[in-house]
Amino acid sequence: MAQRVYIKVVGFSDEERHALNTVFRLSEQCRTMYQLWTTQASESARAAFMDGQSWEARVEAESPLHRDLPILWVGPNAPANVSRTYQRPIAWPEILEGLDGLFGETVELGLPQEPDSVMSQKQALIVSGDRDERLYLRARLSLARLTLADEAESGSQAVELARGKQYDVALVDAGLDDMDAWALLRQLKGGRKPIPHVAMTKAARSLSERVRAWVGGAALLEHPPDAERLDAWLSRIELGPAS
């Protein structure tokens, strides 16, 4: 039976809040749907997610009003009454597993989960000048247990990052301001440290663009990427070179 669980959130940076909201939106595909609790919510919060770096979090955690509220705590020096503790960088699948452990559900996002020994060791590069898209893609990758991800706001920054690290996966926004995205794709695929799996996000999908992506060995996704198509692409990724 489907259920909606309201979560009280205390603290966290704008980026972490954005990623958390993305995770909550993705949970709408599951039997247990998580939603940010506000004072206008139709029900009381059934759990709390608290940032140990926020003084308000410790006050809230130690309040008698929250004595029976399960608390997920991020950071050191957790109060004795918290249910689960996590450290930064936040691994969003672990947060979901913690919530599912409290409410008796398993995540059903339609993405086949590879063993941690495989996905957790992959390195991803996210290239986009759009902050919201970078955060969205990071959240999707994290749900696929690919949590090691670097971000580049421009093509030149992406090239510099790719020179210093071997990435397994790259997600590139076609609308870069400083570089032709197709030229960047060629550099990422054919550089000194070639990236075997590259996807291009593109609003228009003409035949010529499809051919260019096929010749360049890249996937062509929507802009912003559709969750199901992105998940399907990620599920086909292996440690070896793309076929």
pLDDT of residue 136: 82
Is the pLDDT at 204 greater than 80? The verdict is no
Task: Write the pLDDT tens digit of every residue in 219-232.
Answer: 878 776 777 778 77
pTM, entire model: 0.55
Percent of the chain with pLDDT over 70: 84
The pLDDT assigned to 57 comes to 93
User: DSSP string of 184-224?
Assistant: HHHHHHHSSS--SEEEEE-S---HHHHHHHHHTTEEEE-SS
Question: Out of 3.40.50.2300, 3.40.50.980, 3.30.565.10, 1.10.3720.10, which CATH number does the structure's domain 116-235 have?
Answer: 3.40.50.2300
**Average pLDDT, whole number, for the chain?**
82
- CA dist 95 to 2, 19, 33, 90, 107, Å? 20, 12, 14, 8, 11
Q: What is the pLDDT of residues 61-115, one digit of tens each?
A: 988 888 889 999 999 999 989 999 999 988 887 888 888 888 865 444 444 444 4
Is residue 73 within 8 Å of residue 50, measured between CB atoms? yes
The whole-number average pLDDT for the span 24-52 is 89
Q: Where do we find the tokens 């997920």?
A: 72
CB 185 within 8 A of CB 172: yes
Residues in the chain: 243
Give the integer Cα–Cα distance in Å for 44 and 4. 11
State yes or no: pLDDT of 241 exceeds 50.
Answer: no
The 3-class SS string of 95-157 reads HHHHHHHHHCCCCCCCCCCCCHHHHCCCEEEEECCCHHHHHHHHHHHHHCCCCEEEEECCHHH
Identify the band that residue 161 occupies on the pLDDT scale cut at 50, 70 and 90: very high
Contacts for 223-227: CB closer than 8 Å, 24+ residues apart: 223/173, 223/174, 223/175, 224/133, 224/136, 225/136, 225/137, 225/140, 225/171, 225/199, 225/201, 227/26, 227/140
In this prediction, residue 242 carries a pLDDT of 42
pLDDT at 215: 55
Domains 3-103 and 116-235 belong to one CATH topology: yes
Domain ranges of the chain: 3-103, 116-235
Which of the pair, 188 or 203, is modelled with greater confidence? 188
The lowest-confidence range among 99-103, 171-175, 179-183, 216-220 is 216-220
pLDDT in tens, 49-65: 999 999 999 999 988 88
Lowest-pLDDT range of 25-34, 42-51, 73-82, 202-211: 202-211
Domain 3-103 homologous superfamily, CATH: Response regulator (3.40.50.2300)
Range with the poorest average pLDDT among 137-141, 194-198, 204-208: 204-208
